[in-house]
Amino acid sequence: MDMVVRRGQIVGLIGPNGAGKTTLFNCIAGHYTPEEGEIYFKGFKITGLSPNEICGHKLVRTFQIVKSITKLSVLENIMVGSFVLTKNVSKAREHAREVMDFCGLSHLADKKAANLTIADKKRLEVARALATEPELILFDEVMAGLTGKENQEAIQLVYKIKNQGVTVLMVEHIMEVIMPISDNIIVLDSGAKIAEGAPHEVAHNEKVIEAYLGVAK
C-alpha cells in the first residue's frame, strides 16, 4: 500500500468488505504497528507510535462502532478530547462547548451519551475527535446507519470541518456520499491499492467496477 493524503483535501477510501480499509486506519492511527513499511505525517515518522502520541501530533480518528463513554454527558465526552490540549478543567469545558456548538450538539450538552440516537452518537464521535484540534482526521464510516436526511447533515459537517483547514481521510460505503464530496479517491481490494484518482475517473475504472461497483461491461 502506497498513498499520499494532501493537506486540505477530502480523500475517500473505498473497497469491498475485507479489503483492509479499517486495518489501514488502525496502522495510521497507531492501533497496529505495520510489519513492514513506514508511515509519515507532516514529514515526521509516526510508525510504531502509540495512538495517544499520534494524537499529540494532530492526527486523530473516529471508529465505525462509536466509542462514546456512555456514563458521561455529551459535554463531558467532548471534554475528554479537549484534555489533549489542556489539563485545566475550566478551559477544557470552554473549548468543548465551542466544539459542541460547531457540531450542532449544544442542545444535548447534559444528555448522557448512552441515550443518544445513532446520528447524535456519530456526531459526538466526530466532536470528541475535533476537540483535540487535529490537522488530519480519519473518519471510519461516520455515515453508516444514517437516514438520507442525516447523511446530508453529516456531509455538511464534513464540509465545515474541511473549511476549518482540517484534512479528511474517510472510509465510506455509500457511493452517493463519498463520490461527490471527495477530492481524491483511493480504492483498496484484498489489501492492495487497485486505483486512485478523481471520483469520475475511479467510477469508470474497470478494475474498480469489477472489484466493488459491479461487473465490468
Contact criterion met (CB below 8 Å) for 200 and 27: no
CA 137-141-146 angle, 5° bins = 125
d(C-alpha 54, C-alpha 52), whole Å: 5
Q: State the average pLDDT over residues 54-58.
A: 96
Q: Which residues contact 33 (CB under 8 A, 6 or more apart)?
A: 27, 47, 48
pLDDT digits (tens, 9 = 90+) for 99-134: 999 999 999 999 999 999 999 999 999 999 999 999
Residue 215 — very low, low, confident or very high, per pLDDT cuts 50/70/90? low
Q: Which domains does the chain have, with CATH numbers?
A: 10-213 (3.40.50.300)
| pLDDT-above-90 percentage for the chain | 82
User: pTM above the 0.85 mark?
Assistant: yes
Longest Cα pair distance anywhere in the chain, in angstroms? 60
d(C-alpha 110, C-alpha 103), whole Å: 15
Q: Is the pLDDT of residue 184 over 90?
A: yes
Identify each DSSP E strand in 20-58 by its residue range.
40-41, 44-45
Residue 216 — very low, low, confident or very high, per pLDDT cuts 50/70/90? very low
d(C-alpha 97, C-alpha 202), whole Å: 40
pLDDT digits (tens, 9 = 90+) for 78-95: 999 999 999 999 999 999
Residue 36 — very low, low, confident or very high, per pLDDT cuts 50/70/90? very high
Q: Which pLDDT value is given to residue 212? A: 67
Q: State the average pLDDT over residues 21-29.
A: 94
Contact criterion met (CB below 8 Å) for 42 and 192: no
Q: Which pLDDT value is given to residue 10? A: 97
Within 10 angstroms of residue 214's Cβ, the number of other Cβ atoms is 9
